[in-house]
A and B are shown apart, each in its own frame.
Chain A
Amino acid sequence: MQETIGDTTYDWTDATSHFADLCRHLPIGEVVRDADFTLFEAMTALELMDPKMDGGMSIKHHFQEQKQGNRILTLKQLIDKQLLKITKFTSSELIYLFDQLLSTFHMWLDGHSLALTLFTCVYLHDVTIIDDSHLRTICFTFIKLVDYIRERILLKAGLFEEEDFSGTLTYNFPFYRDFKEQTCLTDLKKSEDELNKRLRSLKHQTELDQVDINATQQLIYRIRFLRYFFGLTVKFNEANEKTGEQTYLNTEEISKYLKQIDEMLQLIRPSFIIENETTPTDDNSQLNISQTLLTDISRSFDPYYNYRQLPPAFNRFIRQLIFPSFVYKSLVNICQQLRKMLEINDKRTLKQSFEFFLEYSTHEKPSLFIRSLLLLSYLPSVQGCLLSSRKIFGQISFAEQVKCEIRSFIVPPLLTLKSISIDNETLSCSENFFQRACVPFSNLFYSLCNNHARTREKLSNLLEEFSVLQDESEKLDQWLHKYLIQQIVQANLSTANAQTLLLIEKTSYFFQFILNWTLLIMEYYLLMGFDLSLYSKRELYDVYFYFAQIILFTHINVYKTSKNILNTTVPFLVQLNQKQQTNKNQINNQFIQQMNSLIQHNSNDDPLAELTNENNATQKKTKRKNPNVLVATNNEYHEQELLLIHGHFAMSTAMHRCLKALDIERRLKFSSNDSNYFLRDEIRYRHRFLPFANLCAPPYMPHTDFLHIQHLSDNRYTASELYQDAINNFSQAKTYFETYLNRITTSKQYQQQTFNRTFTTGFTSLIDAESYIRIAKTNGIVLKLLLGGHKPDVKIDFDFSLHAHYPTLKL
């Protein structure tokens, strides 16, 4: 029995009866299983002829519908049989093909395989065969676009997971690697010019063909759109044509492209296929194309074209193409997201970048494509460069950035005193620490670009790296204590205030800094559990208790320590620097020498700058105002952070207090001693907080201690005392968040440049704070009712609809 599929002819032998004969001798249930045949093999095995599993069954169905025999016609065969044209396309036909291609491109970006999206267009399998120059150029561009995004963006960023994206396989499709991106852009321009000529001549005809005029005009917009979009894409992670080296994000150029793309998207009317022309529509937003105009290209897309090339997996559903109107709309959205993404370029500190990454991923919910662009904009990928050795914006190494960050966070003398000369041992000891910090910090930003579910997993791994870094920072601090005090004493300062000296001596600068970041990660990790709705109501008590009493409590202390250091030692350090400088330009401290340009660049964030510049009015005027720094004058160090952390602390304290009170009064919808419940509290606790178990700070609180402390705090009180305290805490939380909002919204910057509501400090955005205020208010009222003995028999439920982080109590 012979059968031809594609270009191959098979010679089949029917073995059905032979097989059935042999089977007859087997007893029921007899199976031989090889040790290699694991669950994986079992799950990937297909049952032939089962319509749910066997892809051949759906293809068979397809052929029956197509009445074309059991075969797919190749592009060549279609052309030979004159079933498909390759020349003299009308504008309407080209618009149809363009919109369909764009739709498949959009699906591919959404994560579907190339075989089921773009390459269902038969023309793409041999672009050179197409006579029509417009279609050829369009096809080439789509292929190059996909190739660039795949090679230079998605693979370089390395963020995709199999659940995000299955579009990286190339199935031996032609990608025309010799064909340069620049050629595409030139060809598109040529095509556009030619069509413009056609349009002009159409307009000069005696009998105006309005349909053709419209279509041609629309086609021109589309081609121009494609040219801009392709031009924009190749600007990201661009390699220098001559040297092959990385070039860096050019926000001005990209903004220009985005503006042009937006203009085109305004002008393009998405195509809509109608059955016959006689149905009149008033809807002018879409471009109606009659089915009858497309008969010559009805075979241009075949969803089954690559069907037999797909791997033997179950993911074989043929997806319906999405409507062009939807595609264009979502392109507008992509442009908006890209425009917002460019703001990363203004984020000059790790903290600001961290906040931006959080904010962006929470509020924009970017797709893999956009997330990859964000990572590559922040950490451009030079060929073969490890994540940790990539430079921020291709310019600043993490080691340098971390130094600056520590300097502005807590002004350690090592990074602030200009005059000290650092011996080799101290230098290598400290440099070693900064180098080691590169890995976890770069990983942090990489983790934040993953999809949310993965980010949380990655953060828990990251905490292990940070716990190592904590150890390292402690060692460095110990070494530096002896060394620096010696240096300062040697400098023989009469002004040296003994108390200040003592403070400097006692402070673990580097440890505090690393602890601050560890806490930020822990906080985000716990809150993401809420965002992904992982916590059951039974464990809310544990989570809020740990969040408040361990994490936030420690964090408040870290900020207070840093604030105290800044307030106390900055004047001292500035004085010291000025005194020691006989020659203004002489700097002995190698670290400051290295950092100098960075410090000057970010002078707004530098706590020492404020005071040094006071004598230097001219310099102050020229200082570039950084819009991201809202308030940064003395005394107010970390003010916003403290307000927010205090707010969260009061909020979660209130939560665990009222949970305890409700438990005492048996007003919870679940009971902690349900007979069916198999999970012991201690085991649940241990597993939930496992990622925190290895940190040296804040020290992990074992369950026995947790019970003990709980006993000392919440358990000592009656329900009404607990309600009262929860009410107080909710009202405090409300005040903290309101004060924060006021500070931000009344700040100069806010009024100057209409602030967006997603503005984020730490892990809290303005929108978050607004919701928290409402929740605190509502809960305060509900608790007052409960305290007053309102409806004593009614159970209380929690509603997380206002915000995932804190519930409102429902009577």
Chain B
Amino acid sequence: MESIITNNVSDHQTEQFNNTSIINHIHEETNKHIYPCENNNDNESSTKLTDDDELIAKLDILLIDNSLDSNIYFHSYQSEKEMSSIISLISSTLSEPYSIYTYRYFIHNWPDLCILCSDRQTNDLIGAIVSKLDLHKNTLRRGYIAMLAIKKDYRRQKIASKLVLRSIREMIKRGCDEIVLEAEVSNDSALNLYENLGFLREKRLYHYYLNGVDAFRLKLWLK
């Protein structure tokens, strides 16, 4: 697992650049034409509430696991003071550059979905997950994992999985229907991590990244 566990937000970047020449202001909720082939048949999800509770209970149990170093602890985003360390952690591991506005867009709007992992002793930031949850096509509560990064020395300890699980738990509590993200086709460690949790490769995104590499759109269907 030498390679970095990352996935990039350029989803919106590339998909929306499509329209830049004509429209400058695209509101998120009007992205209908951007995701053309999704459909939601909710006829089989009548037992929604109990399902969610069940999932949350399952997650709670999973997250109790104490194999981790006791100095490592998880917490959600508190204040702008943490911003610079988040940015430096993430920008050192992700290839594509994000402006401060991108970070603020996610973190200020969904501070609870920005979950951090730090070392109690050194007070260093070890890992971070940045995600959001909003309405897709006015009907679907779609969670989106924008960034995930773990400091090099702390990898292979399942910290990334823990961060993702915590993020999933927060999203389920908020009534999430599905969670999506993108990952490079060659990023085996990220693909493994997400697929082991139940994310499926929904589609392939041709030439998705600026470096011309394809990506997979991964999706975890909760309903």
Contact = CB atoms under 8 A, between A and B. Distances in A.
Interface in A10-61: 28-29, 31, 33, 36-47, 50, 52-53
A313 B97 contact: no
A801 to B, nearest CB: 15
Contacts of A317: 210
A31 B12 contact: no
Given A40-B12, A42-B104, A52 B97 contact: yes
Interface residues of B, number: 63
A520 B130 CA distance: 42
Given A36-B25, A314-B210, A44 B13 contact: yes
A453 B204 contact: yes
Q: Which of B200, B205, B219 has the most A CB atoms < 10 Å from its CB?
A: B200
B161 interface: yes
Contacts of A1: none
A162 interface: yes
B99 A690 contact: no
Given A47-B99, A461-B37, A676 B196 contact: yes
A306 interface: no
Interface string B1-31: 0000000011011111110110001111000
Interface stretch (A63-71, A587-595, A618-626, A680-688): A680-688
A326 interface: no
Given A453-B205, A456-B203, A674-B196, A39 B12 contact: yes
B62 interface: yes
Interface stretch (B67-75, B77-85, B116-124): B77-85
A133 B98 CA distance: 48
B207 to A, nearest CB: 4
A33 B20 contact: no
Given A47-B99, A678-B168, A683 B28 contact: no
Interface in B187-208: 195-208
Mostly helix, strand, loop or mixed at chain A's interface? Answer: loop
A534 interface: yes
A173 interface: no
A33 B41 contact: no
Contact of B221 (A38, A42, A451, A679): A679
A686 B97 contact: no
Interface residues of A, number: 59
Contact of A534 (B80, B105, B203, B206): B203
B211 to A, nearest CB: 9
A789 B155 CA distance: 40
Interface in A135-194: 161-164, 169
B99 A677 contact: no
Contacts of A52: 97
B197 to A, nearest CB: 6
Contacts of A691: 37
Contact of A39 (B41, B105, B199): B105
B151 interface: no
A76 interface: no
Contacts of B105: 37-39, 42-43
A534 B204 contact: yes
Contacts of B195: 536
B222 A683 contact: yes
A397 B124 CA distance: 69
Contact of B205 (A38, A53, A163): A163
Contacts of A111: 207
Contacts of A533: 185, 201, 204
Contact of A678 (B36, B102, B197): B197
A457 B206 contact: no
A457 B210 CA distance: 22
B206 A315 contact: no
Given A163-B208, A453-B204, A693-B41, A169 B21 contact: yes
A318 B157 CA distance: 39
13 contacts: A38-B25, A38-B105, A39-B28, A39-B105, A42-B99, A42-B105, A43-B9, A313-B13, A453-B204, A453-B205, A534-B216, A535-B201, A678-B168
Interface of A: 28-29, 31, 33, 36-47, 50, 52-53, 111, 161-164, 169, 311, 313-315, 317, 451-454, 456-457, 460-461, 532-536, 539, 674-679, 682-684, 686-688, 690-691, 693
Interface of B: 9-10, 12-18, 20-21, 25-28, 36-37, 39, 41, 44, 55, 58, 62, 79-81, 83, 96-102, 104-105, 108, 161, 165, 168, 185, 195-208, 210, 214, 216, 219-223
By Cβ-Cβ distance, the 8 closest A-B pairs, closest first, are A29-B80, A679-B198, A42-B105, A52-B97, A678-B198, A42-B101, A453-B206, A163-B207
Given A38-B28, A677-B197, 13 more contacts: A28-B80, A40-B12, A42-B102, A44-B17, A45-B102, A162-B17, A163-B205, A317-B210, A456-B204, A535-B201, A675-B58, A677-B198, A678-B197
